[in-house]
Structure 1
Amino acid sequence: MRELTHTEAIDLVGRFEAAEELPEQMRSDVRLLGSLLGRVLRESGSPGLYEDVERLRTATIHAYTDETPEAFARAAAIADGFTVERADEVARAFTAYFHLVNLAEEHQRVRALRERDGRPGRSATDSIAGAYAQLSSEVGEEAALTRLQSLRFHPVFTAHPTEARRRAVSSSIRRLAEFIDERDAAIRDGADSARIEPKMIEEIDTLWRTAPLRAEKPSPTDEVRAVMAIFDETLYTAVPDVYRRIDEAIQGADAGSRPPIVRPFVRVGSWVGGDRDGNPFVTAKVTRKAAGIASEHVLLGLERTAQRIGRGLTLDATTTPPSDALLALWRRLRAADEDAATEIAKRSPNEPHRRILLVVARKIAATRTRDADLAYRDPEHLLADLRTVQESLVAAGAPRQAYGQLQHMIWQVETYGFHLAELEVRQHSAVHRAVLAELEGGGSRSEQTEEVLEVFRAIAFVQERFGPRAAGRYIVSFTQSAADLANVHKLARHAMGDGATLPVLDVIPLFETFADLQAAPAILAEVVHHPEFEARLDATDRRLEVMLGYSDSSKDVGPVAANLALYEAQAKIAAWADESRIELTLFHGRGGALGRGGGPANSAILAQPPHSVDGRFKLTEQGEVIFARYGDPAIAMRHIDQVAAAVLMASAPSNEDRNRDAAERYADVAAAMDEASRARFFELVKAPGFAPWFATVTPMEELGNLALGSRPARRGLSVESLEDLRAIPWVFAWTQARINLAGWFGLGTALEAVGDEHRLRQAYADWPLFRTLVDNVAMSLAKADARIARRYLDLGDRDDLAELVMGEMLLTRSWVIRVTAGKELLDNKPVLQRAVKMRSPYVDALSLLQLRALRSLRSGDEATPSDPEQERLLLLSVSGVAAGLQNTG
C-alpha cells in the first residue's frame, strides 16, 4: 500500500476539486476558507496536525476516485494509525471544514437568489406569483384570488435532537457569513477585499478553539431560546418581506400604494417546551415558561418596530391632516398616559401620525412588562389602532406611508400576535389511559397524574395571558381509537374542576403506525360525534386537523410501504372530510432524514392526493432542517415562497388530475411494490436477534451519550425491543453507519417485483408520488457508501443479515439508476450530485475515525471501564458526519 508522493497528492486533489465544477464564486470561497482553516491548523493545532489532515484527505480522495480495495485500505490504515489525541484533532478539523463548506454553499444559494430576484419578468410556478398566474389560467382570476387569500402555510418547529452542532458554533458561522458578505461587497466596489481576511481567520480560529460538543444535554428552555434566535434573526422580518414581494409581483407598480392583495398566510407553531411525549423534562412549568419567552421576543420586536416607524412618520398635519378617528384615538391614548403623551407631543409638534405610533410603542412595552393600566388587552386592539393610523393616512392622500412599513407591522401582528408561535402540547395516548384509570380508581394521585393535570391548567393560563391562539392544540401520539381523543377532554375536566372554565382545545390525532394509518378514517368518523368535538367543529366552521407520522410507519413496514400507506391514508381521510363537510388540514410529521419524510417539501406537496391539501399545509420542521431552511433571511424567504407556491398549485385541476390519473393507472405497480418491499423489510427486521445486531453494527447506543437534545433516545426499554426505540435514533444510527437503510431498504426488491423497466420509467415521468420516492432514495443512496457500510456490518456476527443489507443496497442502486435513465445516481440532479460528491471523501475520513473508535469501545468486556477518549472521538465523528451529510434526522 504505497503512499502517494507529495506531487501526486497535489495533482490528485487538484483534479478532484476541478471535477467538482463549482460556480466560480463558490470555488473561490471554498478555496479561501479552506486555506484559512489550513493556516489555523498550522498555527493553533499541535505539531504535524496539518500534514496529518492532508494525508488523510488525500487518501480518502484517492480511495473515492480510485475505488480499489487497496486505496480504501490505505486510507483506513492512516485513520487507524493516529494516536487517539491526534485522531481527535483530525476529526475536529474535518468537522470545521464541513461547517465552512456548508457556509460557502449556503452563501452561493443566497447569491443565486439575489441574481434571480434582480431579473425582471420571472414567474416560474415554484414562486407564489407564478403559481397564482398558472392557477388563474386554469380556474379564472376570481377563483384563484379566493384561493390565494385563503392560503395557509404552518411550519411547526420541534426540538428533536438531530442538530448536532452547538449554538456557539452556529453563531461563529453566522459571523463568518457576514464577513463573506463584506468581502463580496468589497470586490464589487473595487475595494481591497484582502483587509477582510484577518477578520475571517480570527473567526475561523475561534471556531477551531470552540468546543464542538456540548458538555451537557440542553434543557427544554435552552431549546426554546435556540428557536427564538431563528425568529429574532430571520422570521420576524422575512415573513412580511415575503408578503411584500408577492404583492409586488401581482400588483406591479401599484404595490405599496394600494391595499395589499396578499393576506398573511404563515402561522408559526412550536412543540419546543410543549412536546412531552417520552420527555420527562418538559413539564407544565416549562410550558408556561416557553410561552412567556416567546411572547417576550415578539412584543420586544413589535415595540421596536413601532418606535422605528413612528420616528420616521414625520408627516405634518398641514400636508397630511389627521382623520377624526385618529384625533379621537389620540384623545384616548393621552387620557391613559398623559405625561408621556404630553412629552411625545412636544417632540412631535403638528405630527399627529408620528405621535400616535410612539405612544403605541409605549403601550406595547407596557404589554410586555405587564403594566395593566397601559397594556393592550389583545393583538386585535393593537391592530385596531394601527388600522386607524393607516386609514387616516389614506384619507389624507398618503397611501405609500399607509401601505409601506406600517403595513409590514400590521402583517407582523396578524402573523405573530402577542404569542409569536402557537405552542402545541403532545402526549402519548397510553399516558392518558393510565392517568384516567388512576383518577377513576379513586386512589391517591401519582406524580405523573398530577403533572398531566397541571398541563391543562398551564394551557388555560397561557390562553388567558397571551390569547387563545397562543396554545390550545393538543396532539395525542399513537391514537388508536376515538376514546384516545375523547380522553383529553375528560382529563381537562378533571384538571379544572367542576364549574371552572375549560381551556379551548383542538384535540389532534396523530396516526403513526401502519395499522393506525389504516384505521384513521373510522376513528375520525366516530370521534366527530363526541359532544366536545361537535361543539368545536361548530365553533370553527367545521375545521379539523389530523396529524400523520412519517417516522414510525417507516420503522414499522419500511420506507416504500410507509410512503404508499401514507398516500392511501391521506386520500381516504380527505374523501371522508369532503363527505362530512369538514375543512381538513393534514399535519405532516416530517423529519430531516429521508427515512422520516425528508427531502424537498415542495415536490412532496405536489405529489399529495387530490383534496388533501386544498390550500392548507402544516408540517414539522426540526433539527438541522430549521437552521438550513430558516437560518438565512434570503433562503427562508425562498423556502416559504416555494412551499406556499406548491400549496397553491397542489389543488390546481391539472395537478389533481395528474395525481388522480397516475394513482389509478399505476395501482397495480403500487400493490406489487407494497407487497414485495414489506416482505423484504420484514425478512430483515423480524429476523431473530435483529435488534441487538442493529445496536452492534451502528453507533445507536452511543448516540444516547451525545448531548444533542433534552429528550431520551428510548422510551425506557432496552434495545431488545425495536418498538420502543424512537424513530430518530433508528434513522440517525443508520445514517451514521453510512448505510442510510431507513431511507431506501426494500425499494430494489419492489422494483424487481414489477420488473418492467419501460413501465417504471414511464411511472417516474407521470406519477409524482413515485418520482418523489425514487428521487429521495437516490439522494439517500448517494450519501451512503458500500465500502464503509461493509465495515460497520462487520462489527456484528450475522453474515446473513449483512449480506441481506448489502444485496438490497446494490439492487436498489441498480434499479434507481435504470429507472431515472442515468449512468450513476443523481445524474438528473447535477447540483445535488455535485454537492454530494464534493463532501463524500471528507465524510469518509470521519467515518473511518468513527469506525476505529467503535471497534475500540466494542473490544472490551463489561468489566472493562469505558475509554472516555475513544467515546469523545466517537461523538466528535458523529457531529462531523452529521455536518457533512446535512439531512441526518
Structure 2
Amino acid sequence: MTDILDPPPARDEKDRPLRDDIRLLGRLLGDAVREQEGADVFQLVEDTRRAAIRFAREGRAEDREALHVLLDPLPPDTMLSVVRAFSYFLQLANIAEDTHRGRRRRAHEVMGSRPREGTLEFALEMVRQAIGNDGLAQERLTAFFRSALVSPVLTAHPTEVQRQSTLTVMQQIATLLEQRDRMVLTGEERTESDALLTRLVLTLWHTRIVRGERLRVVDEVKNGIAYFRSTFFTEVPRLHANLEDLLSAQFPGSTWQLTPFLQPGSWIGGDRDGNPFVTADVLHETLRLQASATFDFYLQEIHALGQQLSLSRTLHAVTPALEALAARSPDTSAQRLDEPYRRALSGIYARVASTMSGLELPPPVRAALGSGEPYASADALYDDLVIIRDALTTTGVGLLAAGRLRRLLMAVQGFGFHLAPLDLRQNADVHERVVTELFAQAGVCDNYAALDESQRVALLARELEGTRPLHSPHLRYSEEVAGELAIVFTAARLRQRYGASALPHYVISKCDGVSDLLEVALMLKEAGLATGGQQATLGLDIVPLFETIADLRRAGDTMRAALALPVYRALLRTRGDVQEVMLGYSDSNKDGGFLTSGWELYQAQTALMQAFGDAGVQLRFFHGRGGSVGRGGGPSYDAILAQPAGAVTGQIRLTEQGEVIASKYATPDVGRRNLELLVAATLEATLTDHESGADQVTAFRPVMERLSAHAYAAYRALVYETPGFAQYFRESTPLAEIATLNIGSRPASRKPSDRIEDLRAIPWVFAWAQCRCMLPGWYGFGSAVTAWLVEQPDGLPVLQRMAQHWPFFRTLLSNVDMVLAKSDLRVASRYSELVQDETLRRTIFAAIEAEWHRTRDALRQITGQDQLLADNPLLVRSMANRFPYMDPLNHLQIALLQRHREHVASGTAPDDLMRRGIHITINGIAAGLRNSG
C-alpha cells in the first residue's frame, strides 16, 4: 500500500523510530482519507504529495505547474479535503517529532551521558565550575533560590489557531506513542494499541479543525487553563522536587526545601490593550474559572492521598498534631477509626469543598463526607498538609511523604487558590483619557490631556500625596471610563477573595513617560489598591512596557526620573523596592526592524540597570517575546543567555504566545523540558559569567551601533517610505483574512486604519510567515553588513569575533539563520502575484528578494558556513519532515484567497467552504512552521 505523506529516509539510525512513527501516522491518516473521502481523493492527495516533494527538492517549473494542474480546478469540497489532509499530517508529524525528542533524551539518560546543555544538571555543573569553591557555590545557590522567580506568562493572540478539541485528541495520540515507545508489547497489546491509534486518527479527521464562531475571551481563558491541567499542575512541582534532590546530591549533608519559584502566569482575561471584550465581568469569570480548576486538582490529589495513606494507629505511631487534625474530620466511619491519615485527609477534603462553596464555585464531582470550616487562605490548607508530612517524617516513614504529598505541598504553595498570577494590561492612552475625565468631573483640572509632561507629573504627584477620592458613584462617566474604573474596583474585590497573588501586576502598554506610571497609581488609589498620604501603599506592581524604538531609547531616563520622584519612590518602597519593567519585542520590531529592535532592547536593559543601580532599587525584567523571531522569539534558552551581564538576577518573566504555547506545553514531557530550559538558563545567566570578556563586548558596541543604524535605514526605507508598501503587504499576505476569520478574540488592529503603524505586531508577523517570506525576522541585516563593510573594508574579522565571543550577536545570527531557512522565496513570489498593481508587485518583491540574498551572503561571510543551519542538524531534519507538505497548503491558500477576494470585490457572499478552507490552511501552515506568531 502506498503511504500517504511519506517522510524522507532516515539519515541516522537514531532517527529510524521517528521515521517509523511518521510513516505509521501517515498511513493511518491515509487510510482515513481513503475510507472516508474515497479512493479518488486519496489518489489526488498522493499525487499532490509527490509533486510537492519534487518541487521542494528541485524547484523545477514543471513540478510547480503540476501542482497548478492538480489543484487549481478542484471544486471547494474536494479542495477542503486536500487541505485537511496536509494540515492534519503536519500536526501528526509534530507529535512524532516531539515524541522523538523525548525518546532521545531518555536514551542519553539511560546511557549515563554527560548532562546536556539546557538541563538542570548541566546548569548546576556550570555554576559550580564558575564559582569553584563548593561552600561558596552552595551559599550563592541558596541566595539565588531565596528570591528566584521564573515565570512564563501565557497570552492569547490572533495567531492562536488551535481548537481545544483537536489539541485533546493530539495529546492522546502523543501519550499513546510514548507508551508504545517505553513498553515491550505483546502481540495482543500491539493489536489493541494499533486499533486505539487508528480510532484516534479517525476521530481527528472528523473533528472540526476550525471554529464556527469567533473565539470569546472566556474560551481563550479555558484554553489557557487546559495547559495547567495537562502539564503545569504535575510538572511544575515535579521539577521543583527534582531540583531539590539534585541540590541535595551535589551538596551532601544539606537539605533543600525550595519555595516554588517557577510560577506560570497569564494575561488571558486581564489584557485589555486593544481588546474591548475584556471587561470587569470577564475578569471576574477568569478568576472564577482559574480557581475552579485549582480546587478540582487539589481535591483529586487529596482523595488519591487518602487512598494511599492507609496507615493504622495499631501498627504505627501518631503525632498529637495529626491526632487533633483527624479528630476534626467529619469522617466518623467505624472502618476508619484507626486510620488517622485517611480521617485527616477526609477533613481537609471537606474544608476544601466548603471553601469552594464559599467562593461560589461549582461543587466537586466527588462529594465530601461532611461539612468543614472553609479555609481562609491557601496558607491554611498548606499548614494542614504540613501536619501530615511532619507526622510521616517524625514517625520513621518519611519516604511516604516524598511523592504525591510532597508535590501537592509544592502545588499549594505555587498555585494558591488562584492558579496563576493574572496580569492586568491597558494602553497608556486609555489611562490618560480616564484621568482627564476624573479630574474634570471632580473639578480638579478642566483639561488634563492638554498639560505638558512636567505639569501632569506635578498634578498627579499632588493627588497621590493626598487621601481624597476623585471618583463618585453619584456622577455619570463615559462608557470607556466607567469600564476602566470597573476593572480596578473588581480587581480589588477579587484580590480579597482569592488573595493578592491572584492579581499582582498592572502593565502599561506604550509607556513613554513618568505620568503614565502615576496615572495608573491614581486609578489604583481610587479602588483602594494604593493609598496616599504619609502611609503610602501600593498593592500591585505597576509595570511600564516600553515598546517602540523611541520609547526603548528613553526607557533609562524615564525610569530614572520616576525613581527620583518622592511620591513614586514612597509607593515603590511598599513593594519591597522592587520594580518590574517590561520590554516589547513585537512593536519595536515592527517599528525599526529586527536587528535594531534587538540592539535597542539590549541597550535599554543596560541603561535601566544603571539607573536602578544608582537608585538602589531592584530591577526585574519582563520580556514580551512572541513565538517568531520577528517578535523576539527563537530558542528561549539561548535568548536568556544572550541578555547583557547582570540583566538576569535570578528573576525573569517572559511571555509565551500564540501557537507556541501548544508546541511547548501541550504534553507533560515536552512541557517539562521547556520549563527546565527556562530554569537552567536563568541559573546560568545569573550565576555564571555567560557574557565573558567585558572589554571585548565594549569594543563590539560601536560596531553594533553602526550595523543597527544601517539596518534601521534599510527597513524603514522599505516598510514606511516605499509608496504602496502597505497595499503590497495587505494584498500579498492573508492579513485581511486573518483579521476577519474566527481565530482569536482580539481585533487585528488597535484602531480602524490601513496604516502599518496601527496594525498589531502579531498579525504583522503572522501574515508574513503565512506567505513564507518571514520578512520581520531578517530584513535589513544584509544591507547593514554590506554598508558596514564598505565603511570598514577590513572589518569582516571583527564580525567573526563578535559571532564567536558575544552571546548576543551569536544568538542574533542563529535566529537569522533559522528564519532564512524557514523562508521560501519561490512560494513568496507566488503570493506576490496576488498584488493587483504589477509595477508595485515587481518593485517591492525585487527589493525583498535582493535583501534576502544579501542577508544570506552576509551570514555566510560571518559564519563561514555555506549551508543554512549547518550547525543545527535537528532542525534540518525537522524541516525535511514537514516543509514539503506545506507547499500544497500555500498553493491552495493562494487559490482560495484569489477566489475569496473575487467574491468580495464583486459583492457576492463568499462560500462557507472557501472561508473554512482559508482558515484550515492558516492552521496547517502555522503548524508546519511551529513558531510563526
SS, match of residue 655 in structure 1 = coil
**Mapped pair 1:450 → 2:476:** no
> Aligned in 2, Cα 1:521/1:260: closer, same or farther, shift over 3 Å?
same
CA contact (8 A) 2:596 2:711 kept: yes
**Mapped pair 1:770 → 2:809:** yes
Please tell me the residue identity of whatever aligns with 2:572.
L
CA contact (8 A) 2:748 2:760 kept: yes
**1:177 paired residue number:** 174
Looking at structure 1, the residues matched to 555 and 492 of structure 2 have their Cα atoms a distance apart, in angstroms, of: 29
> Aligned in 2, Cα 1:196/1:11: closer, same or farther, shift over 3 Å?
closer
Q: CA RMSD in A?
A: 2.6
493-502 or 853-862, which deviates more: 493-502
The alpha carbon displacement at 1:329 in A equals 4.4
Looking at structure 1, the residues matched to 4 and 540 of structure 2 have their Cα atoms a distance apart, in angstroms, of: 62
Looking at structure 2, the residues matched to 180 and 498 of structure 1 have their Cα atoms a distance apart, in angstroms, of: 52
**Mapped pair 1:225 → 2:222:** yes
685-694 or 73-82, which deviates more: 73-82
**1:476 paired residue number:** 508
**1:836 paired residue number:** 879
The total of aligned residue pairs comes to 870
**2:621 paired residue number:** 586
Looking at structure 1, the residues matched to 379 and 197 of structure 2 have their Cα atoms a distance apart, in angstroms, of: 46
Please tell me the residue identity of whatever aligns with 2:827.
I
**1:396 paired residue number:** 395
**Mapped pair 1:61 → 2:93:** no
TM-score (normalised: structure 2)? 0.89
**2:757 paired residue number:** 723
CA contact (8 A) 2:524 2:530 kept: no
Looking at structure 2, the residues matched to 411 and 445 of structure 1 have their Cα atoms a distance apart, in angstroms, of: 45
CA contact (8 A) 2:326 2:341 kept: no
Query: CA deviation digits over 1:483-510, x for unaligned, max 9?
Result: 1111112223345699999982211101
Looking at structure 2, the residues matched to 590 and 97 of structure 1 have their Cα atoms a distance apart, in angstroms, of: 28
Looking at structure 1, the residues matched to 242 and 531 of structure 2 have their Cα atoms a distance apart, in angstroms, of: 50
Looking at structure 1, the residues matched to 7 and 230 of structure 2 have their Cα atoms a distance apart, in angstroms, of: 39
**Mapped pair 1:274 → 2:318:** no
**1:821 paired residue number:** 864
Looking at structure 1, the residues matched to 60 and 723 of structure 2 have their Cα atoms a distance apart, in angstroms, of: 35
Q: Of residues 157, 160, 171 in structure 2, which corresponds to 1:160?
A: 157
Looking at structure 1, the residues matched to 292 and 714 of structure 2 have their Cα atoms a distance apart, in angstroms, of: 52
**1:74 paired residue number:** 66
Please tell me the residue identity of whatever aligns with 1:508.
V
Gapped regions of structure 1 (runs ≥ 5): 1-5
CA contact (8 A) 2:127 2:684 kept: yes
The alpha carbon displacement at 1:13 in A equals 8.7
SS, match of residue 25 in structure 1 = helix
> Aligned in 2, Cα 1:532/1:462: closer, same or farther, shift over 3 Å?
farther
**1:877 paired residue number:** 921
CA contact (8 A) 2:350 2:372 kept: no
CA contact (8 A) 2:549 2:597 kept: yes
**Mapped pair 1:641 → 2:676:** yes
Alignment of 1:226-241 (within 5 A): 226-241=223-238
Q: Of residues 607, 626, 630 in structure 2, which corresponds to 1:595?
A: 630
The alpha carbon displacement at 1:695 in A equals 0.6
> Aligned in 2, Cα 1:86/1:109: closer, same or farther, shift over 3 Å?
same
Please tell me the residue identity of whatever aligns with 2:589.
S
Query: CA deviation digits over 1:550-604, x for unaligned, max 9?
Result: 0000000000100000010011112222222222110001111111111110101
SS, match of residue 422 in structure 1 = coil
Please tell me the residue identity of whatever aligns with 2:267.
W
Query: CA deviation digits over 1:791-833, x for unaligned, max 9?
Result: 2123222122221111111111222233333222101100001
CA contact (8 A) 1:260 1:403 kept: no
Looking at structure 1, the residues matched to 529 and 404 of structure 2 have their Cα atoms a distance apart, in angstroms, of: 47
Please tell me the residue identity of whatever aligns with 1:509.
P
CA contact (8 A) 1:221 1:286 kept: yes
**Mapped pair 1:679 → 2:722:** no
**2:469 paired residue number:** none
> Aligned in 2, Cα 1:39/1:168: closer, same or farther, shift over 3 Å?
same
CA contact (8 A) 1:164 1:879 kept: yes
Alignment of 1:624-773 (within 5 A): 624-658=659-693, 660-686=694-720, 687-719=722-754, 721-755=755-789, 756-773=795-812
The alpha carbon displacement at 1:884 in A equals 1.2
Query: CA deviation digits over 1:424-475, x for unaligned, max 9?
Result: 1100110111122122222841111111000011111111000110113111
SS, match of residue 366 in structure 1 = helix
SS, match of residue 657 in structure 1 = coil
CA contact (8 A) 2:247 2:256 kept: no
Alignment of 1:494-509 (within 5 A): 494-495=526-527, 504-509=539-544
Gapped regions of structure 2 (runs ≥ 5): 360-370, 442-474, 790-794
> Aligned in 2, Cα 1:394/1:795: closer, same or farther, shift over 3 Å?
same
The alpha carbon displacement at 1:854 in A equals 2.1
SS, match of residue 214 in structure 1 = coil
CA contact (8 A) 2:93 2:881 kept: no
> Aligned in 2, Cα 1:402/1:567: closer, same or farther, shift over 3 Å?
same
Looking at structure 1, the residues matched to 7 and 615 of structure 2 have their Cα atoms a distance apart, in angstroms, of: 63
Identity over aligned residues, as a percent?
A: 33
Alignment of 1:32-111 (within 5 A): 32-111=24-103
SS, match of residue 729 in structure 2 = helix
Looking at structure 1, the residues matched to 605 and 776 of structure 2 have their Cα atoms a distance apart, in angstroms, of: 22
CA contact (8 A) 2:156 2:658 kept: yes
Please tell me the residue identity of whatever aligns with 2:160.
E
The alpha carbon displacement at 1:656 in A equals 3.8
> Aligned in 2, Cα 1:497/1:64: closer, same or farther, shift over 3 Å?
closer
The alpha carbon displacement at 1:776 in A equals 1.1
SS, match of residue 709 in structure 1 = coil
Q: Of residues 493, 497, 500 in structure 2, which corresponds to 1:461?
A: 493
CA contact (8 A) 2:10 2:16 kept: no
Query: CA deviation digits over 1:813-871, x for unaligned, max 9?
Result: 22223333322210110000111122221111111111112233344674432432433
75-84 or 31-40, which deviates more: 75-84
Query: CA deviation digits over 1:277-329, x for unaligned, max 9?
Result: 11111101100110011111111211221222233223343654333443444
CA contact (8 A) 1:182 1:196 kept: no
CA contact (8 A) 1:421 1:470 kept: yes
137-146 or 374-383, which deviates more: 137-146
CA contact (8 A) 2:563 2:615 kept: no
CA contact (8 A) 1:103 1:177 kept: yes
**Mapped pair 1:570 → 2:605:** yes
**1:425 paired residue number:** 424
> Aligned in 2, Cα 1:735/1:286: closer, same or farther, shift over 3 Å?
same
Looking at structure 2, the residues matched to 82 and 329 of structure 1 have their Cα atoms a distance apart, in angstroms, of: 71
> Aligned in 2, Cα 1:739/1:21: closer, same or farther, shift over 3 Å?
farther
> Aligned in 2, Cα 1:784/1:280: closer, same or farther, shift over 3 Å?
same
**1:378 paired residue number:** 377
Q: Of residues 307, 325, 342 in structure 1, which corresponds to 2:332?
A: 342
SS, match of residue 422 in structure 2 = strand
432-441 or 20-29, which deviates more: 20-29
Query: CA deviation digits over 1:25-48, x for unaligned, max 9?
Result: 111111111111111111111451
Looking at structure 2, the residues matched to 792 and 835 of structure 1 have their Cα atoms a distance apart, in angstroms, of: 25
Looking at structure 1, the residues matched to 344 and 145 of structure 2 have their Cα atoms a distance apart, in angstroms, of: 33
CA contact (8 A) 2:782 2:854 kept: yes
> Aligned in 2, Cα 1:540/1:612: closer, same or farther, shift over 3 Å?
same
Looking at structure 2, the residues matched to 25 and 193 of structure 1 have their Cα atoms a distance apart, in angstroms, of: 16
**Mapped pair 1:326 → 2:322:** yes
**Mapped pair 1:29 → 2:1:** no
Looking at structure 2, the residues matched to 469 and 530 of structure 1 have their Cα atoms a distance apart, in angstroms, of: 27
> Aligned in 2, Cα 1:842/1:14: closer, same or farther, shift over 3 Å?
closer
Alignment of 1:308-323 (within 5 A): 308-317=304-313, 320-323=316-319
**1:3 paired residue number:** none
Looking at structure 2, the residues matched to 650 and 33 of structure 1 have their Cα atoms a distance apart, in angstroms, of: 40
Please tell me the residue identity of whatever aligns with 1:245.
N
Please tell me the residue identity of whatever aligns with 1:760.
L
**2:122 paired residue number:** 130
